[in-house]
Structure 1
């Protein structure tokens, strides 16, 4: 029977905020504890000192490839740039992560707070946490129809459709499900002419990454509805201190 260590894994990591590397590194080291993987890093600027430090952080079991790419479409165009270069038949699991910065203003997904560092940390911890990384991989072995896994509270449903996507686009997916997205989009598709922070196409692609899971007959990992209810209840302004306590002690275990 296949084990999590035998799963062939690739991580596509958009490193836009270089100062957040130290926040991301522990999660990737957790994955290294499981076994070998390939790490594809995209970033808009050269930083030899940082790149050398990254390469020195991992054992020889981790192959590291660095792409200098345009930062169109936030983390979306860089992801497609790498995706087009991969032979997805060589991988079982693909991780998509990026340096989601702290959100200072109060924001919610599905009525649940995603402000401060919680958006980034909760999503990363769910798939690459010290106590979760093996479990999330085992889920794909146990359920052959599981297509994608991420932080359940931020899994957004498309109305009148079985399709869903992960708000924040940090998740893991069966690699072969993204063959349908290869060689479809180029950098000019993501150029922003709308006057908004990102182009409309960028947001459409965020949903597309999730929608193609259900459209190919695969499912998203289910989470606890009770936990969702508690998080939504604690996400009100007056209960926010309790939200911080609950997330830190029960989810992030800080």
Structure 2
């Protein structure tokens, strides 16, 4: 098979939720032990866990990083520590929070936190066959730059337009331009050509990211970089694609588009409630209420 001629893959795992190691280990078992090097970052020192990781995969490097930029700051720290020329591909995964009932609409599909994580991990490492398929896709298509879940790769303007000024600033620092449509993998897990990340390595360090604040939900530099990763790939002439397919998700999107035509009830980014019937606005309310004198 042509993909066996490729260099080893560098796998970066940010293990913020350290109790999730057994779950992640099962996914990593789908990789051939000889074809990847494992790099694990922890936000807190944990010697027994580090020993367990190295026992699982001898070609592992484990270190503690400052808690900056969620999973993105540690990934940039990883980029600074490795020689990217040793690898053809970089796999970025992390222990994204799966708890809570919060749902997000992406590409016309309602996705819970748990399903979000499952979609990302299964698209990349769901089985040994899926992993080989992804490697073969890179070997077969020289212009393929990044793989993630097709259901979480989005170009929706509402997902990125509010961050466009910061995205432009970051890309300008790397000497790149923002594509007309910002394409990115929501959730920041992907398999990417290593050489496409050199500009990030040359331009940023983990210290550029502010300390992670659990109360901050959106709009941080880490969220900007979530979009930037896809932009960096496309700005260098490569494509971002997904190859996973779920029949239910295909049907859900169709049903959603039909139902949205007849009725929609949304909260906008400016915190306004907007109700439409047959695409006609019938109700609009400002939810930003503040007492006088506050």
TM-score range, shorter chain: 0.7 to 0.9
- TM-score of the pair, normalised by structure 2: 0.71
How far apart, CA to CA, are the structure 2 residues paired with 1:115 and 1:52?
A: 33
Corresponding residue of 2:8:
8
- 2:209 paired residue among 183, 190, 202: 190
The Cα shift of 1:57 comes to 1.7
- Return the match for 1:128 from 125, 138, 144: 125
Q: Deviations over 1:71-128 (max 9, x none)?
A: 1110010000010122111100100000012142222322323314211111111111
Structure 1 residues 40 and 161, CA gap change in structure 2 (3 angstroms): same
CA deviation vs aligned residue, 1:143-178 (integer Å, no higher than 9, x gap): 011000010110021647244110000110000000
User: Does the CA-based 8 Å contact 1:93-1:173 persist in structure 2?
Assistant: yes
Paired position in structure 2 for 1:232? 253
Aligned positions of 1:61-140 closer than 5 A: 63-104=59-100, 105-130=102-127, 131-140=129-138
Distance apart, 1:232 and its partner CA: 2.5
For residue 188 of structure 1, report the CA deviation from its aligned partner.
4.0
**Cα 1:88–1:193, aligned 2, differ >3 Å: closer, same or farther?**
closer
Q: Matched residue of 1:114: which SS?
A: strand
Q: What's 1:20 paired with?
A: 20
Segments of 4+ in structure 1 off by > 6 A? none
**Which one is further off, 20-29 or 132-141?**
20-29
Query: Which residue number in structure 1 is paired with residue 44 of structure 2?
Result: 45
Cα 1:122/1:193, change in 2 over 3 Å: closer
What CA distance in whole angstroms lies between the structure 1 residues aligned with 2:73 and 2:244? 32
Give unmatched runs, 5+ long, in structure 2. 158-178, 258-294
How large is the Cα RMSD of the aligned pairs? 2.7
Instruction: Name the SS for the 1:113 alignment partner.
Output: strand
Q: 1-side partners of 2:56 and 2:244: how far apart? A: 35
Aligned residue pairs, count: 233
The 1:186–1:93 alpha-carbon spacing in structure 2 relative to 1, beyond 3 Å, is closer
Q: Indicate how the Cα distance of structure 1 residues 222 and 169 shifts in structure 2: closer, same or farther if over 3 A, else same.
A: closer
Match of residue 32 from structure 1: 32
Pair 1:225–1:187, CA change in 2 (3 A) = closer
Q: In 2, Cα distance between the equivalents of 1:86 and 1:129?
A: 26
SS at 1:102 equivalent: coil
Is 112-121 or 187-196 further displaced after alignment?
A: 187-196
Shift of 1:192: 5.5
